Chain A
Amino acid sequence: MNQWIAVGALALMGVGIPLGMIAVSSLIRPSVPEQGKSSTYESGEIPTKSAIGIQFNIQYYMVALLFVVFDIETVLLFPWTVIYQPALESGVGLMTLLFPMLVFIGVLVIGLVWAWRQGAVKWARSEAATRRKTEHNS
């Protein structure tokens, strides 16, 4: 049997079960629309503007960029780890197998060190917030 038929069937279950629960819930739940109920939660206050378009820390963008680099690296690691043991057993030299990957990882580690020194993985501090701070503990 083709293995992916079963995977597809499980994917179908993964969509079907949530949809089924939504359907059951829609049959038994009440609907009492009232004014004020539908405003978003902001600690009981009337929400200020919309949440779409608010400013957030640039750091999220920096780590996401770093992730793209390392994610592609892990993709390239997978085939190497799979052939590693069989290739050793069939007599390929250790340095022939290991050295190129060490260079590859080394290049990426240099990249990480660079990003580290640039402060890409250090949480950016808001200068305005630091100025307004009343306690000094750092």
Chain B
Amino acid sequence: MTPLQVQTFPEAIAAMLPWSGLWVDVLSALVGTFLVANFLLLNTAVAGPWAKRKITAAFTDRISVNRMGPAGILTIPADAVRLLSKEQIIPEGVDRPAWDMGPILIPFSALLGFAVIPMGSGIQVADPEVGIAFAFAASSIASLGLIMMGYASNNKYSLMGGLRAVASNIAYEIPLVVTGVSVILFTGSLRTSTIVAEQAQPLVTLWGVSIPQWFAFVNPFAFALFTVANLAEVGRNPFDIPEAPTELVAGYQTEYSSAYFVLIYLGEFIHIFLGGAIAATLFLGGPAGPGPAALGIVWFTAKIWAFYLFTQWARSAIPRLRVDQFIEIGWKGMLVLSFANLVLTAVIVGVLA
């Protein structure tokens, strides 16, 4: 089986330039990734200061931001300036390099994970053979940032928050990866473009409509498991015990203000979108959807926003778990179920093949 050769976004840019060589590659990679990163920042800017408030307000029957611009949309630049122009307070006794590096690591890890995600319309930063494994690896660098922030802040709430964040990330990382790996049993490749191409095959035809072989349809149980583990991995309700505002103030981010506060929030929102993007790539056909292939980026954006809406729905609707329940659900429930899913999928794939 020869791997599908897909032209990545930087390669498309390099093909448009009249020159060739290593420096053109580097230049087009920088331009391409700059555009992709800014697309993600734009999504985050809409999601963070505006959509989050609007969604929560709709769920709790309130009016949210509505002063600046139509439906309050101009609150986004206003909030960006407001947050960035806050005074930076450096608390006593913080462990300086670690305290500064934590907030940079969070958005770094989330952005890096997007390197292998096919976003449709030919927008994919890179398509290496390790593919989806790289996305998992990059997104789990965030744990390091969280424990650095928690430990270096010299604050008891931060320390507890950092420990809980790592405990939650490691408890749900295994179910997440093992469930994700059960998809690889169908595709036989980690390369994200192959995983997406595999899902374009028709599964069944109902009333003249061809249903594609999205792995969410093939294995809905794995998709449900993956979504729950994903919710825990991005630390949203009901799994938001690392922050748990009523118990720990704000967890690991208690001592951060100004630009660092913005970076932590930015990182968390890109992380939610990365979670949605990995789920879309593995289970929802990536950028696939009705209409021409050029609409891929629209469908991809719709899918990651659907996951974002799901996290916000859960945030408004489901109470938070206690820390002991959280650990027990992760290690006793999710882990066992994810291994059962893997073994069953392997047996079914083997029997059907």
Contacts and interface: CB of A to CB of B under 8 A. Distances in A.
A9 B346 contact: no
Contact of B37 (A13, A94, A112): A13
Contacts of A98: 346-347, 350
A128 interface: no
A80 B82 CA distance: 51
A50 to B, nearest CB: 6
Given A10-B114, A13-B33, A51-B155, A31 B170 contact: no
Interface string B156-199: 11111001001100110110011001101111111000000000
B107 interface: yes
A6 B90 CA distance: 36
A14 B111 contact: yes
B108 interface: yes
A26 B188 CA distance: 49
B294 interface: no
A52 B154 contact: yes
A19 B336 CA distance: 42
Nearest to A86: B188
Interface residues of A, number: 72
A42 B155 contact: yes
Interface string A64-94: 1011001100100110011111101100001
A109 interface: yes
B228 interface: no
SS class of chain A's interface: helix, strand, loop or mixed? Answer: helix
A59 B173 CA distance: 17
Nearest to A113: B336
A37 B37 CA distance: 35
Contacts of A47: 155
B261 to A, nearest CB: 10
Contacts of A67: 170-171, 173-174
Contacts of A89: 353
B84 A24 contact: yes
A23 to B, nearest CB: 9
B181 A5 contact: no
B65 interface: no
B92 interface: yes
Nearest to A125: B324
A49 to B, nearest CB: 9
A24 B1 CA distance: 50
Given A13-B111, A39-B92, A51-B159, A88 B84 contact: no
Interface in A36-59: 37-43, 47, 50-52, 54, 56, 59
A51 B158 contact: yes
Nearest to A68: B170
B40 to A, nearest CB: 10
Contacts of B90: 38
B285 interface: no
B186 A85 contact: yes
B93 interface: yes
Contacts of B209: none
A37 B34 CA distance: 38
B127 A3 contact: yes
B128 A25 contact: no
A39 B171 CA distance: 33
A76 B263 CA distance: 34
Contact of A121 (B88, B323, B331): B331
B178 A77 contact: yes
A40 B153 contact: yes
A3 B40 CA distance: 20
11 contacts: A7-B112, A12-B30, A14-B109, A28-B85, A30-B87, A38-B89, A40-B255, A59-B167, A63-B167, A78-B181, A121-B327
Given A6-B9, A67-B173, A77-B342, 8 more contacts: A1-B25, A17-B41, A52-B159, A56-B160, A84-B350, A85-B353, A105-B343, A122-B328
Nearest 5 CB-CB pairs, A to B? A123-B324, A85-B188, A25-B259, A9-B29, A121-B331
